[in-house]
Structure 1
């Protein structure tokens, strides 16, 4: 259990840092015009919001520290 907390905490910590530095993005597709079965779409690259990265850093840090400090 203790090792699991540390591993999950470190994974969340690294993922949070990845998001905060601006490297995480996703694609969003919007339909601009649709006539019958014909469709015109636009695809946009959007960045993951910074607050998600900050939350990942905080939660990951707490899990990692909790795993290190937890007594068996």
Structure 2
């Protein structure tokens, strides 16, 4: 249990730092026009919000400390 908390905490810390530095993104595809079976789509890359990175850092830090300090 203790090792699991530490590992998950470190992974969340790394992911949070990655997102906060601006490297996290996802792709969104929108249908612009659809006529019958033919359609025109557009794909956009969007950045993940910085609050998600900060939340990952905070939660990851708490889990890591909890795993290290637990007796």
Shorter-chain TM range is over 0.9
Q: CA deviation at 1:43?
A: 0.2
- Equivalent residues in 2 for 1:14-25, closer than 5 Å: 14-25=14-25
Alignment-derived partner of residue 6 in structure 1: 6
Which residue is equivalent to 2:57?
Answer: 57
Tell me which stretches of 4 or more aligned residues in structure 1 moved more than 2 Å: none
Offset, 1:54: 0.6
SS at match of 1:27: strand
- Structure 2 unaligned runs (5+)? none
Cα distance in 2 between the residues matched to 1:70 and 1:51: 28
Q: Name the count of aligned residue pairs.
A: 71
Q: Point out where structure 1 has 5 or more consecutive residues left out of the alignment.
A: none
What is the RMSD computed on CA atoms of the aligned residues? Answer: 0.4
TM-score normalized by structure 2?
0.98
Q: TM-score, normalised by structure 1?
A: 0.97
